[in-house]
Amino acid sequence: MTVRVGVIGTGAIGREHISRVENVISGGRITAVTDVNEQSAQSAVRDFNLNAAIYPDDQALVADGNIDAVFITSWGPAHESSVLLAVEAGKYVFCEKPLATTAEGCLRIIEAEKKHGRRLVQVGFMRRYDEGYAQLKETLDQNEIGNVLMVRAAHRNAAVDESYKTNMAVTETLIHEIDALHWLIHDDYHSVKVDFPRKTKHAHAELQDPQVFTLKTKQGVLINVEVFVNCRYGYDIQCEVIGEEGIARLPEVPSVIVRKQSKASTNILNDWKLRFMDAYNKELQNFFDAIEAYGQPQGPSAWDGYIAAVTADACLKAQETGEEQDVLLGEKPEFYEQKLHV
């Protein structure tokens, strides 16, 4: 089966995903595109030589009988309404993070999906498909370091532009750690807090950078995540888990070590597209494979999108108030318990 895909949002990641469906992975084909900037949709069709319809908006695209699935790669605030349109039309959905910008928005999607009767939605939390995270999780699942006590993580970008504000450290950046870390250690968040260290001179007026988030879990694990989006030196994702019997660390991306002129040096990546390229390929391959095998996606669900949104909302409140905030999650519906494997 070839899954026919309509893409809503042909910006940076929309184009990345179009390219991987057309040139790298199997099981899908791009048959429609739309973007609020029509020229962007047109250039995507041209640049990737697509045999795809160009629609004026998401509503028209979702109504196309020639698509089975929708990729939502527009900017975050537009996601919820596009997801709801697609779910109501019974189309499969791969939605980039965030699923919706509020927890209430995620709940509306969950209700729509439950009404449909089976899972349609997968959220783009690709770290779960990254080989390094998979190895780290395997180490913890094998109980090699005993009970987890603490986690130290860092999410660093070389630089961001002026459109990136203080809150986006949560909604655009920390959101990946929010998803990956509770999945990694099989725990739920209890409370969150944020500290603002001395500000780098490289951050513009409306951005506090860096920021340090402290998340406590229900089992008492203390997680510390540094978000530093003007670190200058590269794109760097770090994660160290401290257990009762030892410490486990996310592997570095392999890179040749050159010894020359009294120095041993190695390259550091500069771009998220390259750092997680294999993970993006795997998440979308898994999306197509699960549709073929089970008629429903198996990757991060709308419920995972909801957990991330509730936790992100608490982090935003912590940014505003400077105080610790509780993370108040609802009960996981039975609907999201079933797990099939591809």
How far apart, in whole angstroms, are the C-alpha atoms of residue 182 and residue 205?
A: 33
Q: Which of 122, 173, 211, 217 binds ligand ISE (CB under 6 A)?
A: 173
Q: Which two tokens stand for residue 71?
A: 């990729």
Question: Closest Cα to residue 267, out of 287, 252, 249, 289?
Answer: 252
Q: Could you tell me the smallest distance in angstroms from the CB atom of residue 95 to ligand NAI? A: 8
- The reply to whether 40 sits near ligand NAD by the rule CB under 6 A is yes
Q: What DSSP designation does 199 have? A: P
Q: Which of 5, 10, 87, 301 binds ligand NAI (CB under 6 A)?
A: 10
CA 20 to chain CA centroid, nearest Å: 17
- Torsion over CA: 312, 18, 4, 298 (sign): negative
Question: Closest Cα to residue 151, out of 111, 110, 104, 183?
Answer: 183
Q: Could you tell me the smallest distance in angstroms from the CB atom of residue 199 to ligand NAD? A: 24
Q: Which of 113, 172, 226, 313 binds ligand NAI (CB under 6 A)?
A: 172
Q: Which 261-290 positions form the footprint of ligand ISE (CB under 6 A)?
A: 272
How far apart, in whole angstroms, are the C-alpha atoms of residue 331 and residue 188?
A: 12
Task: Give the side-chain half-sphere CA count within 13 A for 137.
Answer: 16
Q: Which of 78, 145, 149, 268 binds ligand NAI (CB under 6 A)?
A: 78
Q: Which of 6, 14, 297, 305 binds ligand NAI (CB under 6 A)?
A: 14
**Residue 173 contact, options ligand NAD, ligand NAI, ligand ISE, none, Cβ 5-8 Å cut-off depending on partner type:** ligand ISE
- The reply to whether 75 sits near ligand NAI by the rule CB under 6 A is yes
- 221 vs 227, beta carbon nearer ligand NAI: 227
Q: Could you tell me the smallest distance in angstroms from the CB atom of residue 172 to ligand ISE? A: 5
- Binding residues vs ligand NAI (CB under 6 A): 8-14, 34-37, 40, 58, 73-76, 78, 96-97, 124, 126, 172, 272, 276
